[in-house]
Amino acid sequence: MTVMQGQTKAGNPLAEVYRVSGEDEEFLQKIIDVEGVKAHACLSCGSCSGSCPLSFSMDYTPRQIMRFLQLGMKEKVLSSSTIWLCASCYGCTVLCPREIKITDVMGALKRIAINEYKDLIASKSSYTYYNTFMKSIEKNGIIDEKSFFITYQLKTRGLLGLLNYAPFGYSLFRKGKISLRTHKIRQLDSFRMIFRKTGQMEQ
C-alpha cells in the first residue's frame, strides 16, 4: 500500500482518509461505484459480525473485512474464506446502523475474485460452484437440480465423491423429486443470447 498525501486521483473519500492509492484505490473504487457501498461510513461497531450466523466459520469476520476494505487491503480481502462463507442472508445489511449493504459488498468481492483474481480464491470448490451454476442456467434456461449437482460433484470430487450421494439421490428419485427428464424452457435459443450479449457488454 502506497501512502501518499493530499487529493487522490479519483477523489475517493475513503482513499483520502486512509491515503490509499494506485491499484488499491482502483479496487476500492470498483466496489464503491458498483454497489453504492459507503465503506467509509463503517464504524467498526460489529453489528454485522454479531448478527452473522456464519462468523464462527470465517477466517475474518465481516467487521474485519469492512476494515480491510477501508484500508484498501485487496489481497487480504479477496483471499479470505469469509466471502465464500457468506450465505447472502442479509442479516448484517438489516442491522447495519450506517446502512451499508454488506451482503452486496460480499457479492461484489466474490465477483471480482471470480472474474479477475482467480488465483487468490480460498475456496476452489466455490469457484467451480458459481461457474457450474451459471452454465446450467445457460444450458436449460432453468436449473435442473440433478444435472447441476452431478456436474459439480464430478468436477470437485470426481466419481467416487458423487457415488457417496447415490443413496440420497435414490431416495429423492423414489419420491419423484428427481426425474430422468430434464426440464428446459421453450424459448431456449433466444434465451441463450442473453449470455452472449451480457458477456459482450461487460467486456
Partner 1 sequence: MKSAYFPGCSLLGTAKEYDLSNRAVFRELGVELPEVEDWSCCGSTATPSYSRLLSLVLPARNLALAERMGSSIVAPCAACFNRLAMTNLSLREDGEMRDRVNEVLSTLNLNYNGKVEVRHLLDFYLNEIDLETLSKHVVKPLDGLRAVPYYGCLTVRPKTINTFDDTLNPSSLDQLIDVTGAECLEWMNKTKCCGASLIITKEDVALKLTKGLLLDAERVGAQCIVVACPFCHFNLDAKQGDVKRMSKKEIPILYFTQLLGLALGIDWKELALDKNSVSPFGMLRKWFPE
Q: Going residue by residue from 22 to 61, which x/- string records binding to partner 1, judged by CB under 8 A?
A: ------------x------------------xx-xx----
118 touches partner 1 by CB under 8 A = no
- The DSSP annotation for 44-110 comes to ---HHHHH-TTGGG-SS-HHHHHHHHHTT-HHHHHT-SHHHH-----HHHHH-TT---HHHHHHHHH
Question: Does 176 sit near partner 1 (CB under 8 A)?
Answer: yes
Retrieve residue 164's grid coordinates: 457417496
Give start and end residues of each alpha helix (H) in 164-187. Answer: 166-174
Residue 99 CB neighbours (<10 A): 10
- The Cα-based distances of 178 to 4, 67, 164, 170, 181 in angstroms read 59, 45, 17, 8, 9
CB within 8 A of 88, min separation 6: which ones? 103, 106, 107
Q: Which of 55, 66, 91, 151 binds partner 1 (CB under 8 A)?
A: 91
Determine the residue type at 124. Answer: K
Binding residue (CB under 8 A) for partner 1 from 21, 49, 93, 151: 93
Cβ proximity to partner 1, 3 vs 160, nearer residue: 160
Position of cell 419420491? 175
Q: How many residues make contact with partner 1 (CB under 8 A)? A: 61
Decide if residue 10 touches partner 1 (CB under 8 A).
no
- Contact pick of 67, 133, 150, 155 for partner 1 (by CB under 8 A): 133
For partner 1, the closer CB: 7 or 203: 203
Pick from 18, 27, 68, 84: which binds partner 1 (CB under 8 A)?
A: 84
What distance in Å separates the CA atoms of residue 42 and residue 66, rounded to the nearest whole number? 7
194 binds partner 1 (CB under 8 A): yes
* From candidates 55, 64, 126, 151, binder to partner 1 by CB under 8 A: 126
| CA atoms of 77 and 69, how far apart (whole Å) | 7
Residue 117 within binding range of partner 1, rule CB under 8 A: no
- Which residues form the interface with partner 1 (CB under 8 A)? 34, 53-54, 56-57, 84-85, 87-91, 93-94, 101, 103-104, 107-108, 110-111, 114-115, 123, 125-126, 129-131, 133-134, 137, 141-146, 149, 152, 168, 171-172, 175-179, 183, 185-187, 190-191, 193-195, 197-198, 201-202
